Amino acid sequence: MEVKGTLKVVNTTQVVSDKFSKREFVLTTNDMYPQDILFQLTQDKCTLLDMFKVGDKVEVSFNLRGREWTNPQGEVKYFNSLEAWKIFKDTNVEHNAIDAPVENDNLPF
């Protein structure tokens, strides 16, 4: 899956254990009704965000992950995460183009 938007939040890498690290970031979509979406990067992918800053227009490729967890009281809970695996600058961002002069036949001279 892929989504385009603007980087709103870029967090530092969290070392959860000696075998697991993660880095979260928030992307605001470019939709009619923009959404703030939380993504995470894990392990060696955490460095992918190093070349970006808040406000950058990017495209994120990600996988939807889900898991089941049973708490100590025996209740089953379900969790979802959006696992980003590729981030790159959005090359389809609208740029201010230099327009050619417009000819107007209605000019008074």
Q: What is the pLDDT of residues 75-84, one digit of tens each?
A: 999 999 999 9
Indicate whether 16 belongs to any domain: yes
| Helix or strand holding residue 92 (H, E) | none
pLDDT digits (tens, 9 = 90+) for 25-70: 999 999 999 999 999 999 999 999 999 999 999 999 999 999 999 9
Instruction: Indicate the number of domains in the chain.
Output: 1
Q: How far apart are alpha carbons 57 and 88 in whole angstroms?
A: 9
Specify if 85 maps to a domain. yes
pLDDT value at position 100? 41
Q: Which CATH number belongs to the domain containing residue 55 in this structure? A: 2.40.50.140
- Structural domain including 58 reads 2-89
- pLDDT tops 50 at residue 87: yes
100, part of any domain:
no
Residue 103, domain member (yes or no) = no
Number of Cβ atoms within 10 Å of the Cβ of 62: 20
Q: Is residue 62 part of a domain?
A: yes
The model's pTM is 0.77
Residue 65 belongs to some domain of the structure: yes
Q: Report the alpha-carbon distance of residue 48 to residue 42 in Å, rounded.
A: 10
- 61: Cα separation from own chain's centroid: 8
Residue 98 within a domain: no
Evaluate whether residue 76 is within a structural domain. Answer: yes
